[in-house]
Amino acid sequence: MTPDLLRLLHTPEGLKALAAAAELAGGEPLAAASALRARGFGAELAAAALTQASLRGRAAGKFGADAAGMFFTRAGLEQATRAPVAARRAARLAAAGVETLADLGCGLGADALAAARQGISVYAVDADPLTAALAAANAAAAGLANRITVECADATTVPVERYDAVFADPARRQAGRGRVFDPKAYSPPWDFVAGLPSRVPRTVLKLAPGIDHGLLPPGAEGEWVSVGGDLVEAAFWCGPLATAPHRATLIGPEASLTGSGNKTAPVGPVGAWIYDPDPAVVRSHLVAEFAESVGGWLADPQIAYVYTDDPVDTPFARRLEVTEVLPFSLKRLRALLRERGVGVLEIRKRGSALVPDQLRKDLKLSGPNTAGLVLTRVDGAPVTLLTTTA
């Protein structure tokens, strides 16, 4: 995709090509390309339209029905905020009284679109000309161009003090290098990003889930977000936007857990029920708060499995019934599973170096039954828990 091709896709001929590509989406790529060319579309336009049709199909999981009218690049789609996450963030900004927002590193515009739908006027910038053009095209496709101004610009040059709030999503990938894990290698650089709250108190930083907790600005809220159990991002809410030290937010189902992030959970024996906390709970360091919410405890202070003697419903963890507690022994475990006719084994692990796929091979499973296996430690010793799903 290039800016010229994007403009071509907006012409009457380009719109016809997109419509035709949508009809052919999902078929064999070479046949689809031949079919488009047979309808009179040039090779370059046909390829661009088919690429958009493919990306729009993939984007439906992030953007829902809106994806059918949006424009994407593969990298941009991969990095874009999921629509439910952006919508929740935008609603929180609007509830805090934000009316104007500077969106630094807007990407394809997912967060700008969500903010505009909340009535917020957005000034969005991206350093890449094509990405900025795509964001503007997506704003127009959504009917929100009157609320979103998009420019190709260096985020560090934006006079952010003119806006009620700032949202920054620094690029965490580099061409030819893939993901960047060191904040110093972000673009714009971390020093600039970390300095934004001192310039605009109502600042939100979207970051990788593995971000160092030590980088959380003083007084800010660290939020870790999961969608359907998939940990997707961290967000630092600064200044008056902060409402708790740490927060774990679940989307699908909707739930939120808050706490200090430095609480210690009680430790006791393996209970009748084991809870595998959502990754947002673990990454936000709120396992102790979760344990308290279900009246539970840890069996090992270093392992984030929580136990109870009675089952408690919770959106924050997967609950399993413990049927057997064994010291780890491959020979004994293989014999026990063979005796019970277990052919399908769901394996979870924390604190174990064993590789689940290799363990399945070594166990030589056969039989019609299903079971769960948890590989963990208790008092530093390897332990095997046989479980059933609640």
CB burial of 251-260 (b: ≥16 within 10 Å; e: otherwise) equals: beeebbbbbe
Residues 47 and 191 in one domain: no
CA atoms within a 13 Å half-sphere pointing along the CA-CB vector of 89: 33
Residues 138 and 190 in one domain: yes
Confidence of residue 173 (pLDDT cuts 50, 70, 90): low
pLDDT at 185: 72
Residues 234 and 112 in one domain: yes
Q: Is residue 261 a part of any domain in this protein?
A: no
Interior angle at CA 242, CA 237 and CA 248, nearest 5: 70
373-383 pLDDT, tens per residue? 999 999 889 99
pTM of the model as a whole? 0.91
Q: Is residue 250 a part of any domain in this protein?
A: no
- Cis before 240 (ω within 30): no
Q: Is the pLDDT of residue 181 over 80?
A: no
Q: Is residue 32 a part of any domain in this protein?
A: yes
pLDDT at 188: 87
End-of-domain residue from the set 29, 46, 72: 72
Residues 158 and 206 in one domain: yes
> Is the CB of residue 290 less than 8 Å from the CB of residue 238?
no
Which of these, 328, 337, 329, 338, lies nearest to 372 by C-alpha position?
337
Any idea which of 197-206, 304-313, 324-333 has the lowest mean pLDDT?
A: 324-333
Q: Is residue 36 a part of any domain in this protein?
A: yes
Residues 200 and 321 in one domain: no
Residues 335 and 234 in one domain: no
Residues 94 and 68 in one domain: no
End-of-domain residue from the set 23, 57, 72: 72
Q: Is residue 249 a part of any domain in this protein?
A: no
pLDDT at 24: 87
Q: Is the pLDDT of residue 324 over 90?
A: yes
Residue range(s) defining the domain that contains residue 281: 273-389
Number of structural domains found in the chain: 3
Averaged pLDDT, 219-236? 96
Q: Is residue 259 a part of any domain in this protein?
A: no
pLDDT at 231: 96
Residues 68 and 81 in one domain: no
255-295 pLDDT, tens per residue? 999 999 999 999 999 999 999 999 999 999 999 999 999 99
Domain of 217: which CATH number?
A: 3.40.50.150
Residues 83 and 210 in one domain: yes
Residues 224 and 314 in one domain: no
Residues 119 and 229 in one domain: yes
Q: Is residue 192 a part of any domain in this protein?
A: yes
DSSP assignments along 24-36, one per residue: HTTS-HHHHHHHH
Q: Is residue 255 a part of any domain in this protein?
A: no
> Is the CB of residue 119 less than 8 Å from the CB of residue 90?
no
Residues 363 and 215 in one domain: no
End-of-domain residue from the set 197, 224, 243: 243
And the tokens for 50? 């088919």
